[in-house]
Chain A
Amino acid sequence: EAQVTQNPRYLITVTGKKLTVTCSQNMNHEYMSWYRQDPGLGLRQIYYSMNVEVTDKGDVPEGYKVSRKEKRNFPLILESPSPNQTSLYFCASSPDIRETQYFGPGTRLLVL
């Protein structure tokens, strides 16, 4: 089944404790992206990747890192999480940027 998977789906952590949210797609897509969604603010892009080893900042990259060492994986790293990073995070992928994006199921993160 073609899909985008994210892990974990739910995470409660404390300020400053490094965490990684994994994202994997099995559709051989070139383009991958991370978004966060907050009430009243909608979906905002954090980082995106056009291809392996090519990443770029989105609208709200502060406090996040990403890597794209393999085509299928695009992990999101929070080196020192803070409470303002409490959010619902979505990973998405598409064959290329001109085409529609397919979203993962989301990761709910709570930073205390």
Chain B
Amino acid sequence: RKEVEQDPGPFNVPEGATVAFNCTYSNSASQSFFWYRQDCRKEPKLLMSVYSSGNEDGRFTAQLNRASQYISLLIRDSKLSDSATYLCAVRSSGYSTLTFGKGTMLLVSP
């Protein structure tokens, strides 16, 4: 099983739609979780960290499910500008590295 897995998509949604992505991780000792956004061939930029209690930032909500070993990202009221690739990143306890998923592509259409 791969360490961090994401559905590559693309997810095609109309403006205003709600869309959710999941990211599964294999190491139960994982400690830190992040969602990044990457526009075409540009650098990944942090979208939000994922806390055990879940967190929300405007239209974006991130959640962690330790029992099932996945994190999720929910985007409400999708905008055209949300079109991008969304990468999840996981750090395991005792490891000095972040492992990234391959990303999920989102395309928001008018």
Asked if B41 and A106 make an inter-chain contact with CB atoms under 8 angstroms apart, the answer reads yes
Of the candidate stretches B9-17, B69-77, B91-99, the one touching chain A is B91-99
Known contacts A40-B102, A98-B32, A100-B34: A90-B96 contact under CB 8 Å = no
Q: Any chain A CB within 8 A of the CB of B44?
A: yes
Is B21 an interface position by the 8 A CB rule?
no
Task: Please measure, in the bound complex, the distance between the C-alpha atom of A41 and the C-alpha atom of B103, giving whole angstroms.
Answer: 10
Task: Give the chain A neighbours of B46 by CB distance below 8 A.
Answer: 100-102
CB neighbors of B among A76-112 (8 A): 88, 90, 97-98, 100-106, 108
The residues of B that contact A40 with a CB separation of less than 8 Å are 102
- In this complex, the interface size class of chain B, counting residues with CB under 8 Å from chain A, is 20 to 34
Q: Within 8 Å of chain B (Cβ to Cβ): is A66? A: no
Within 8 A of A (CB), among B56-92: 87, 89, 91
With contacts A42-B101, A43-B87, A97-B91 known, is A103 near B45, CB below 8 A? yes
Contact of A88 among B41, B97, B101 (CB under 8 A): B41
Contact of B43 among A56, A58, A104 (CB under 8 A): A104
B3 to chain A, nearest CB (A): 10
15 residue pairs A–B, Cβ–Cβ below 8 Å = A33-B97, A40-B102, A42-B87, A43-B87, A48-B96, A50-B96, A56-B96, A58-B97, A97-B97, A97-B98, A98-B91, A101-B46, A101-B98, A104-B43, A105-B42
Interface residues of B (CB under 8 A from A): 31-32, 34, 41-46, 49, 87, 89, 91, 96-98, 100-103
